[in-house]
Structure 1
Amino acid sequence: MSETLHSAAPAAQSPVVPQGISTPAYIYDLARVRSAYERLRSYLPEPSELYYSLKANPHPDVVAALYALGCRAEVSSPGELEAALAAGVPSRDILYTGPGKRDEDLDGALTAGVRDFAVDSTWGIDQLDRAAARHEVTVTYLLRVNPGGGSRGAGLRMTGDPSAFGADAEDIATHPGRYTGGEHARIDGLHLYLATNITDEDALGDSFSEAIAVASALREALGVPLRTIDLGGGFGAPYARAGDLPGYPGLAGRLAGELDEALPGWRQNAPTVAFESGRYLTATCGQLLTRILDVKDSHGRRVVVLDAGINHLGGMAGLRRVPPLHPDVVRVDSEPTQLTQGAEDASGPPGPAMICGPLCTPLDTWARSHPLPAVAPGDLLSVPNTGAYGLHASLVLFLGHPAPLEVVTDTGRVLRSDRLTFVRRPCAD
């Protein structure tokens, strides 16, 4: 399917949108995915591998575009594994992670041909070894590490406290023999992911510096060859707000020097250094289109009700996965880009407004006092930078509204438009 697009606002903040599209709808622009990839690669030391974390956005076209650019796939569930395979990622290029895996999850991954895993404990090592034995194969794993301390400037710390993520660095150093594997599952490297969503270059560099130092010390303590050092990610990105991706222009040079000292041989891939990213690669590729359903006055405050809410965006804010959501809303059917310019033939005067979704709960609120011009039912709005942790981090099953459309565009043309559906089926269990 193809369709000509038009731009309603400057490309820096509002991607082009299909004419006459029904809402709610997520629009993913593959040109912006490619741009984000090239930008991130310019900030990473070479040589290095880059994994795409599907949790940010598992849409198969997005995954396929990033794999074509050179990203391997990092998955942490049967659903993400299925999405990676459906996108054409070969099983040899999939890393299966996650702090807890069911036996049936491992069996499914092994049956699909996955041979690279990450584990977080001695139990996880033994579980993987038993699963590989059942399938009569040999697999490798990255040992995830939970070092002490934390990372400043992080949107979310992953380690440094009691955590499901990783084995304590102190225990690995004290009892290295417990962590090197069994007959069918052998250690291949280390996995360190200290924090996420860091926009400050110095803070991000400090996080990677800590990871490099821990990896160097544990590589010596373990006393076995380690082919891969996965330093994780932490690259920040705007979420549902206008803005561009942060820059890290000095990061590659800083890390290259530290790697030369701590992990000699990395320039010859001995060991291979890897990084991961989800939000940085996809955040700015997406926008959520939504229409106003109702505008009214309630106890002296203007209330604007949209056809999208926490069921489509920001549901994880309540789980503390992302900060409280105060999205920017962008008008896409008139010349102004921000809703501060006014609108003709609209309902009510401009001023602060409560922005709500359609759900039958008072929790479905994006903002309690947001400046808006005069707006009316039927007006089309856009929330920018929602390509990561958008639909797939929402409460889409809550109250049973249809899932939004997902529309993939590239260089001004629609490539794909479809909708997730959920079907209840009998289960033999």
Structure 2
Amino acid sequence: MQRRTVVRALGTGTVLFTGCLDRSQSGPAEPSTKTTSSEPSTASASPRLSITDVRSYTHAIRLNDLGESPRGDVPAVESFSDREQSVVTSAIDETYTTRSPPEWLLQFVAETTYVSQEDQYYRLTATMPTTTITATPVSRDDVTGEIASYEAYEQAVTHDGVVMSGLLRSAQQGGETLPYVWPTLDSFLSTYDAVEYHGDVLALSTTRNDPGSPYSVDATVASLSDLAGGSVWRLSAASPAVQDVVRSAAAKSGLYAFESPPDGLLAQLREHKYVYVGGRFYTTYVEQAGPQPLEIDATVEDATLDADGARIRLTLRNTADSELDISSGAPKPFGVLRYQPAKSTADSGLLWSPAYEDSSHVHTEDGEVTAVNSIALQTSIEPDGTVARTFTVDDPSLSPGRYRIENDVGYSTAAARDGTFPYVVRFAVEV
């Protein structure tokens, strides 16, 4: 067995990280060679690792949490200042009107599209003065006033930490209408007649649009679909069995795998862009539905959890009648794997493979993975063929108990059948 050794200084002492280099891809691993001492051993027996369960699932969904709205958080009426609350409550009750809108009101209605009150959403609309900015390419010689640099323009269009650098792009395509012109932009438009913009000189002009007094703010009831900008499934209307699955998926970060979906679950997820669960919106993805063209197997190659580490070999088998392409993170075919205590998501340990150090997409330091490039790598498997890799659990201090390896790979077939293959490998550590 070839050893991986990394020495790192720590204070006045030295920490030694050891593990095994995997040769499983080119043939059976060499047996480990352990040095024995003639002195009587007083150490207790090393823990041993065993596989307790290997499982895959026929169905998988993914719900991504988008918060209170896919378009951003929706403020509650009570979160506003007294004067803003007065405007909104008047608009909800009937209509808010004013003969002379102050600056704060113009900014408020420009930045507030939706509000919530007592589990109901409202959309605000206003008839207020607006400003339309237009931009026209011109020759530099045709500009009689000052020409702003792009840097000056970028500073002017930065508002509340957001750089609206595309404003002049819209201004060239029929004009950009703003319900509120913030002070730095107003000063910029008053100072400059043109701006350097991506190699062009754009002449600027502004038009004030005033609908006339009285000015008003109205509030209309907004549906969940209005708020999200797409079809929304309200989970509270579903059966208890469907609600249980969706709530479990919403509580899980990443893929949620299961068997035997309750009636109506997949149809609702496919028909709607979002699902509304407990005041929050989630995207709806059905990533697997039905039997899989893959099988997963796990075997223990070295059960002793000593300084050299115990070794687990994972194997994927193509059960389809044609070649199968699987996709995974780096390194293929499994990516970087970790294990967790069976009933916890808080702590996790690294399943080590020397392929991490060999991959240009995986960054390692002192036997740990520090970063992985977001990339999907393809591996082809012939019918009844397999791909495998051996991983090392090299923490001899790992507490006795139950642990799990939970991950997934994507797949595609020649028949244009795509899906996701989720799997779980459970193992036990016993003394």
- The alignment's TM-score, normalised by the length of structure 2, stands at 0.20
Comparing both structures, which one devotes a greater share of its residues to helix? Answer: 1
Larger radius of gyration: 2
